[in-house]
Amino acid sequence: MEPQRTKIKELLKSDSFGSKVTVKGWVRTHRGSKQVHFIAVNDGSIIHNVQVVADSDLFDEETLQHITTGSSIRVTGTLVESMGKGQRMEIQAQEIELYGTADTETYPLQKKGHSLEFLREIAHLRPRTNTFGAILRLRHAMAYAMHTFFNEKGFYYLHTPIITGSDCEGAGQMFRVTTLDLNNLPRKDNGAIDYTEDFFGTETNLTVSGQLEGELGALALSEIYTFGPTFRAENSNTPRHLAEFWMVEPEMAFYDLSDTMNLAEEFIKFLITYALEHCRDELEFLNKMYDKELIVRLQSVIAADFERLSYTQAIDILKESGRAFEFPVGWGHDLQAEHERFLVEEHFKRPVILIDYPQEIKPFYMKRNDDGKTVRAMDVLFPKIGEIIGGSQREESYEKLTDRIAAMEIPAKDIWWYLETRKFGTVPHSGFGLGFERLMVFVSGMSNIRDVIPFPRTPGNASF
């Protein structure tokens, strides 16, 4: 029988020196002399390797030669205190089993210090680097912390559909889902494509947001959240945009906008605190390698009260700044990342929550303010990122909502079910969406969103 494997994360905590242990993993480095070989093994459970010491007398030349960077092995041996510098323990190998070799000439992760751009081209192997191991463990921790936060508050996790017949954000940035033969499309008499022949009998797309269905859940279970992939066919080749990204969307009955701002601030601080408490190795590595201010920045964000002000006040500040922005500043224009970052990084020097945006630049579902011009929108703006959260109080009045969708020429027939919730037991409610990868960019200190998701989808790129 094969000996029980210990993951390196557990092993490194142990002090049962003298006992027999088995580790399995991938070889990071192998250096040897005539008498003795040193093999650093990593199994991805933790950033650190374990050092294996193999006596040349015990192992045949052939086996040792195949233990190269990238190969995979099982090692069984005795855990001993290490005499060498840099590690507390090592394994004195008694058996080494080679699972798979990795050719020295062609294995791409031979030397250290590859560029992030190069690693994107080998996204199938980059999880084996220290950088992506750290990011993927951090990503897991953030997802776990997110579920913990909501579970402890009594929110229920609602699974919303990926394929939809409606456009939540109304920005027309959807990916079509169809089984129609694109070379032979069924046509109606007037020449239009006949979607009644399509799989679902209607036009369908990948969702841009789980919010509309999330609202249905909140209007029954009180407080829910969704967490899933969302898709946007916006042709933005920026370090902050993905075509496929994950969004966390809480939706709360009986919350007004200020309750929602409080929740958003508490939520983000909880996640960052969790990272600082549980992902120390990862953050220290990323701080050292990529962003010397990372940990200090994370600490400063949890210590700060987020600044709260209206869109209109923000426009005044931007105008008075005397800055030459690339995009024009003016009431009614949407804010660009440069404006958001000016407010956060230079003016207030802390995260900012902007509310009450002009209704023209926001989606149909936001609650109208009495001024007739603005809506109860809320964007949370972060250093390095700009917008990290977008949300709002929702329009709960059937009349106001139907007026708005008529004015925006949104087909009511696609969202009749959404409108019915305003007819039957409507209540004030609110919610927001946190871009999970934007959060990851902030927490990891990476500067490109392509480097915080295992397999990024961006314009022109769907490999892996």
SS3 141: helix
- Could you identify the residue written with the tokens 């994107």? 120
- Binds ligand 4AD (CB under 6 A): choice among 67, 263, 388, 443: 388
- If one asks whether residue 54 binds ligand 4AD (CB under 6 A), the answer comes out as no
Residue 218 touches which member of Mg ion, ligand 4AD, none, C-beta under 5-8 Å by kind: none
Cα 387 to chain centroid, rounded: 14
- Binds ligand 4AD (CB under 6 A): choice among 435, 440, 444, 445: 435
Long-range CB pairs of 200-205, under 8 A, 24+ apart, other chains included: 200/163, 200/165, 202/165, 203/165, 203/176, 204/163, 204/164, 204/165, 204/176, 204/177, 204/178, 205/163, 205/164, 205/165, 205/167, 205/174, 205/175, 205/176, 205/177
Two tokens at 250?
């809480």
Residue 244 touches which member of Mg ion, ligand 4AD, none, C-beta under 5-8 Å by kind: none
Q: How many CB atoms lie within 10 A of CB 225?
A: 26
Q: How far is the CB of 403 from ligand 4AD (least distance, A)?
A: 20
- Binds ligand 4AD (CB under 6 A): choice among 195, 227, 245, 342: 245
Q: How far is the CB of 242 from ligand 4AD (least distance, A)?
A: 4
Closest CB to Mg ion among residues 208, 294: 208
Tell me whether strands 89-100 and 50-55 are parallel, antiparallel or unpaired.
parallel
Tell me whether strands 156-157 and 89-100 are parallel, antiparallel or unpaired.
unpaired
- Binds ligand 4AD (CB under 6 A): choice among 25, 433, 445, 456: 433
- If one asks whether residue 410 binds ligand 4AD (CB under 6 A), the answer comes out as no
Using alpha carbons only, give the angle 441, 151, 261 rounded to the nearest 5 degrees.
60
394 vs 428: CA distance, rounded Å: 7
Q: How far is the CB of 134 from ligand 4AD (least distance, A)?
A: 21
40-77 core/surface letters (b: 16 or more CB in 10 A; e: else): bbbbbbbbebbbbbbeeeebeeeebebbbbbbbbbbbb
Contact range with Mg ion by CB under 5 A, out of 181-189, 206-214, 261-269, 382-390: 382-390
Q: How far is the CB of 333 from ligand 4AD (least distance, A)?
A: 16
Q: How far is the CB of 58 from ligand 4AD (least distance, A)?
A: 52
The dihedral built from the CA positions of residue 319, 322, 323 and 326, taken in this order, carries a sign that is: positive
Q: How far is the CB of 435 from Mg ion (least distance, A)?
A: 9
Two tokens at 404?
């708005």
Contact range with ligand 4AD by CB under 6 A, out of 268-276, 329-337, 339-347, 385-393: 385-393
- Could you identify the residue written with the tokens 């075509």? 243
Residue 120 touches which member of ligand 4AD, Mg ion, none, C-beta under 5-8 Å by kind: none
- Binds Mg ion (CB under 5 A): choice among 214, 390, 431, 445: 390
Long-range CB pairs of 287-290, under 8 A, 24+ apart, other chains included: 287/445, 289/131, 290/131, 290/444, 290/445, 290/446, 290/447
> What are the φ/ψ torsions at residue 24 (nearest 5 degrees)?
-130, 140
Q: Is 372 within 8 Å of 356 (Cβ atoms)? A: no
- If one asks whether residue 433 binds Mg ion (CB under 5 A), the answer comes out as no
Residue 388 touches which member of Mg ion, ligand 4AD, none, C-beta under 5-8 Å by kind: ligand 4AD
Closest CB to ligand 4AD among residues 79, 242: 242
Q: How far is the CB of 390 from Mg ion (least distance, A)?
A: 3
- Binds ligand 4AD (CB under 6 A): choice among 166, 209, 260, 359: 209
Contact range with Mg ion by CB under 5 A, out of 12-20, 84-92, 316-324, 383-391: 383-391
Residue 267 touches which member of Mg ion, ligand 4AD, none, C-beta under 5-8 Å by kind: none
- Binds ligand 4AD (CB under 6 A): choice among 30, 37, 241, 341: 241
Closest CB to Mg ion among residues 26, 364: 364
Q: How far is the CB of 389 from ligand 4AD (least distance, A)?
A: 5
- If one asks whether residue 217 binds ligand 4AD (CB under 6 A), the answer comes out as no
- Binders of ligand 4AD in range 145-184 (CB under 6 A): 168-169
C-alpha dihedral over 323, 328, 329, 333, to 10 degrees? -160
Contact range with Mg ion by CB under 5 A, out of 97-105, 219-227, 287-295, 390-398: 390-398
> What are the φ/ψ torsions at residue 62 (nearest 5 degrees)?
-55, -50
Closest CB to Mg ion among residues 434, 453: 434
Q: How many CB atoms lie within 10 A of CB 370?
A: 6
Cα 251 to chain centroid, rounded: 19
Residue 204 touches which member of Mg ion, ligand 4AD, none, C-beta under 5-8 Å by kind: none
292 vs 285: CA distance, rounded Å: 10
Q: Is 383 within 8 Å of 297 (Cβ atoms)? A: yes
Binding residues (CB under 6 A) for ligand 4AD: these are: 168-169, 209, 211, 232, 234, 241-242, 245, 247, 249, 387-391, 431-433, 435, 437-438
Binding residues (CB under 5 A) for Mg ion: these are: 390
